[in-house]
């Protein structure tokens, strides 16, 4: 019974991670295009709706489920004493911080504030990818 629950939670965790990462890769891409749209234009207003819905309906719930399911898996698998998990948790904390920055920048766009260039958003779009690469390495390779 326990193993069945563990596997279902593991599946839920992987699904949530995929959803979270999809949103974390797409939202800054929307910011790139939004930063190029004229303030007050129909296009700018459409981006505001898309960004808000992506954050509220996909990214936020996926992050919460990722954390809850992941912590359950770490606890039930007795992984907290392993170094790779410590590194993974630090990286996931960093991903959560990036998530927080994205949320803040979404509020800036919603208020028609644009303190950053589209080049900034093109560069920042790579941060979740780099974090994801190292997180996956920690989980799969378990180097220490």
Known binding residue 42? Answer is no
Place of tokens 């992941």: 70
Known binding residue 88? Answer is yes
N-terminal to C-terminal alpha carbon distance within the chain = 30
Closest CA to 19 of 66, 50, 62, 69: 62
> For residues 31 and 120, what is the distance between their CA atoms, to the nearest angstrom?
10
CA 54 to centroid of chain Cα atoms: 11
Annotated binding site for heme: 13, 88
Annotated binding site: 13, 88
């Amino acid at each position: 019974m326990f193993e069945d629950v563990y596997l279902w939670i593991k599946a839920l965790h992987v699904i949530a991670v995929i959803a979270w990462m999809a949103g974390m890769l797409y939202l800054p891409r929307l910011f790139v295009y939004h930063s190029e749209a004229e303030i007050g234009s129909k296009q700018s207003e459409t981006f505001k709706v898309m960004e808000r819905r992506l954050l509220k309906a996909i990214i936020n719930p996926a992050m919460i489920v990722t954390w809850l399911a992941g912590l359950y898996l770490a606890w039930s698998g007795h992984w907290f004493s392993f170094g790779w998990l410590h590194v993974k948790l630090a990286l996931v904390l960093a991903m959560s911080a990036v998530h927080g920055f994205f949320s803040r920048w979404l509020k800036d766009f919603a208020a028609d504030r644009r303190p950053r260039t589209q080049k900034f958003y093109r560069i920042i779009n790579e941060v979740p990818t780099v974090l994801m690469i190292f997180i996956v390495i920690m989980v799969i390779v378990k180097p220490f």
